[in-house]
A = this chain, B = another copy of it.
Amino acid sequence: MLAEIITIGDEILIGQIVDTNSAWIAQQLNAIGIRVKQISSVSDDAAHIVNALNEAKTRADIILMTGGLGPTKDDITKTTLAAYFGVGFVQDKDALENVSRIFARFNRPLLEVNIKQADVPENCEVILNKNGTAPGMWFDHEGKVYVSMPGVPHEMMYMMEETVIPKLKNTFILPSIVHKTILTVGEGESFLAEKIADIESALPSHIKLAYLPKLGSVRLRLSAFGQNEAALQNEVDIYATQLVNRIGKNVVTDKDVPIEKAILDEMAAQGLTLSVAESCTGGYISHLYTQHPGSSKVFLGGAVSYAYELKESILGVTNETLWKYGAVSEQTVVEMVEGALRNFKSDYAIAVTGIAGPDGGTDDKPVGTVWIAVANSKKTFAHKFVFGKKRMQNIERTAITAMGMLINLMRENRPQA
């Protein structure tokens, strides 16, 4: 079963927002065995939307759209769909009740444009929008399913989870897709490929292997397509085990989780705690950990010590060290990480200090120079890196490299089986 996603909105095409909806929708569809054939982003323009629908229906049976359902003039998805299906509008009682309820809750008068939000094409089934005023719409038309949802992520997500996914499961007999992902750090894509070449060559045609490199880590993803989910899972697990054994110490996890989640899980299982002292990453490492539910079991917190004074007062870095060696130095990062361990009373700590850029570099310490340290009560390990010139990349790269160093230190200390 194939689906296509069409995201509608000029703001996507001028790059003002990143389309995060499509990836989320694709994940949900894959989980129930619906493959996404194509994702298209088109403008708030009727002819262009119609063209995208016409192309999509030649390839897919399910077409999910987001965007263009707001109350303002630039939102034309609803009128375009009514014209596309050749139908008129009716006012939907539940949708009107919903929009009235939302305005009442915020003590706002209901405007004409808001009442109009309850008008829907007469061939659609309304999807309740618990988090907003624009109703979603489900259309059955000439053997295909079309769904239109708002572009606001949490409104769309609620509709998908509560209505669209359950309804798709009831409407179609779905095949199975099983994915398994192995996260590796410390080796490049081509070396991994060389190392596992014979395993890859021996994969049956219904199992694909993809390499997904990202800033110092590479994910290997096995995907199996077929009818019997249990059998596919079993097959994929066998190949995954072969890959894990072959790749050895570079494997972080065989679950499809980001590196920080793998760390949280491993630490939680061992009852360990973590704190961080961040300078150049400015809270990004803490954010990566704390976006995950349950992170508070492991992650105690930390300091974002941009200013010299905060490195001293929160972390106990000495004034002498800062002035003698500079904020970006081995001495400072070691005092930071040991200060975090001591002051925040965690089992492990990470500290980073560097020049994220684009300004602040010197001949000795160009932009991209970063010191990273990881420590536990027995051992402190610090290393210098010189990354690139781009601030956000330096921040991300520092974070992932620090996590790789933390994993290595944890593995040295891992209880032996």
- Which A residues lie at the B interface, using CB under 8 A? 10-20, 22-30, 35-44, 48, 52, 55, 70-74, 108, 111, 113-114, 131, 133, 152-154, 157, 179, 181, 188-191, 193-194, 200, 208-214, 219, 221, 223, 256, 276, 278, 281-287, 289-291, 293-296, 299-307, 309-310, 313-314, 343-345, 356-359, 388, 390-393, 395
Contacts and interface: CB of A to CB of B under 8 A. Distances in A.
Nearest to A38: B42
Chain B CB count within 10 A is highest, among A108, A189, A191, A287, for A287
A306 B284 contact: no
A181 B17 CA distance: 13
B20 A39 contact: no
Contacts of A189: 70-72
B301 A211 contact: no
Contacts of A181: 16
A359 B286 contact: no
Contacts of A287: 281-284, 286-287
Given A74-B208, A210-B74, A221-B16, A39 B41 contact: yes
18 contacts: A10-B208, A11-B221, A12-B23, A13-B39, A15-B23, A38-B52, A40-B41, A55-B55, A72-B211, A113-B190, A283-B285, A283-B289, A286-B286, A291-B391, A294-B359, A300-B310, A301-B310, A303-B314
A304 B282 contact: no
A212 B17 contact: yes
A359 B131 contact: no
Contact of A300 (B48, B290, B309): B309
Contacts of A343: 313-314
A114 to B, nearest CB: 6
Contact of A43 (B25, B37, B291): B37
A415 B343 CA distance: 40
A149 to B, nearest CB: 15
A390 B157 contact: yes
Nearest to A51: B59
A15 B38 contact: no
A308 to B, nearest CB: 10
A231 to B, nearest CB: 20
A345 B7 CA distance: 46
Contacts of A200: 73
A29 B200 CA distance: 39
Contacts of A285: 283
A213 B152 contact: yes
Q: Count chain B CB atoms within 10 A of each CB in A11, A25, A71, A190 and give the residue with the most.
A: A190
B391 A293 contact: yes
Contacts of A390: 154, 157
